[in-house]
Structure 1
Amino acid sequence: MTSSAYVILFRGVGGATQLPVKQLRTVLAEGNFGHVSTYINSGNAVLSSELDEPGVAERVAAIVRKEMGFEKHVLVRSHQDWQGAISGNPFPDAVAEPTKLHLYALEREPDPEAIQKLTEKATGTERFTVQGRFLYLHTPDGMGRSLFAPKIEPTLKLAGTARNWRTVLALEEMMRKIASLD
């Protein structure tokens, strides 16, 4: 069976919840994942596996729960899905300021009614679009000042985790390297 590259996004890393990257790389490699690497200390990893996306998510979540006591959502996207999210960016004018453009990986595709409710709450300078299991958010005034961003998960009634565009592109480059090795 052929191995595929995946991005692993840990939700809620930072502050009191840390995932030491050296230990994370070790436990994932010992869990039979290939080409394990991490990107900055904020809950990002890439790896290769013969498992499908749900299988990778389940196995990674079990490993980090058992070995590291991490109990929050683990979101996984294939290299193909990640590339599709990059090429599908609805805000190409925002890439010049990559820390103000964010890609949320959502645990599932949100209900249309929830998206409509979220649209009604978008009253600031931010703009967003949902495409499948991804949400794009442009925060021209910065994520730290956004009054809209904290409303996303509760309104959509699902878990998600955001990465700025710089991180999105760095993770794609890491997966591209993995794909060239397999």
Structure 2
Amino acid sequence: MSKQTAYIVLFRGVGGATQLPVKTLRAVLSDAGFANVATYINSGNAVLSSPMTGEEVTAKVAVLVREKMDFHKSVLVAGLEEWEELVAQNPYPQAVEEPTKLHAFLMERAPEAERVAALQEKTTGTETFAIRGRALYLHTPDGMGRSLFAPKIEPTLKVAMTARNWRSVLALRDMAAAI
């Protein structure tokens, strides 16, 4: 049997009008041959294992949820090793005590330098961000709900992405590590 890799699968834009029922999602992914499928809260998070590459998992999951669940938004996938690196490279260790004020965005790819410079010019108030590869870390001391900066990130960087608070980041790491 070929080696299985644990993956974290994030669905962009779940919540509000866009739902992705987790029971159905688990069934769709399991029926497609993914192993150890589990979901975390009802907001577009799954872990699974597969011998495929991350790119192959991304493509297959995107097709499955589009065809079987009518979900047409970006799917972002990180292997456990990449996710552990994302956790280890957190530039805001002082913020982990308030996990709802620290967010990690998984981006489709690392953004272009001029886009990052443009984003830097838009930072406001107490918020700060840092980019490590295809991860963007956002510290919002006043809370994400009040952030005027957060909505500017994706349109400025021009890269598909999705964010999770630090509590979710750690929970997904632990779930994937348990596979």
Q: TM-score normalized by structure 2?
A: 0.99
SS at match of 1:84: helix
Q: Which residue of 2 aligns with 1:86?
A: 87
Q: Which residue of 2 aligns with 1:175?
A: 176
| Residue 155 of structure 2 is aligned to residue 154 of structure 1 | yes
Map of 1:91-170 to 2, 5 A cutoff?
91-170=92-171
Q: Which residue of 1 aligns with 2:67?
A: 66
Equivalences, count: 178
Aligned partners of 2:125, 2:51: CA distance in 1, in Å?
A: 44
Which runs of 4 or more aligned residues in structure 1 lie more than 6 Å from their structure 2 counterparts after TM superposition?
none
Question: What are structure 2's unaligned runs of at least 5 residues?
Answer: none
SS at match of 2:162: strand
Residues 7 and 80, structure 2, Cα contact 8 Å, conserved in 1? yes
SS at match of 1:123: coil
1:123 is displaced (CA, Å) by 2.0
Question: What are structure 1's unaligned runs of at least 5 residues?
Answer: none
Aligned partners of 1:164, 1:87: CA distance in 2, in Å?
A: 15
Aligned partners of 2:74, 2:132: CA distance in 1, in Å?
A: 20
Aligned partners of 1:20, 1:171: CA distance in 2, in Å?
A: 18
Q: Which residue of 2 aligns with 1:37?
A: 38
Residues 127 and 139, structure 2, Cα contact 8 Å, conserved in 1? yes
Sequence identity percentage: 60
Tell me the amino acid that sits aligned with residue 18 of structure 1: Q
Q: TM-score normalized by structure 1?
A: 0.97
Tell me the amino acid that sits aligned with residue 11 of structure 2: F
| Residue 56 of structure 2 is aligned to residue 55 of structure 1 | yes
Aligned partners of 1:117, 1:124: CA distance in 2, in Å?
A: 16
Tell me the amino acid that sits aligned with residue 53 of structure 1: G
Aligned partners of 1:146, 1:84: CA distance in 2, in Å?
A: 26
**CA-atom RMSD, angstroms?**
0.4
Deviations 1:28-56 (CA, angstroms, capped at 9, x unpaired): 00010000000000000000000000000
Residues 144 and 150, structure 2, Cα contact 8 Å, conserved in 1? yes
Map of 1:21-32 to 2, 5 A cutoff?
21-32=22-33
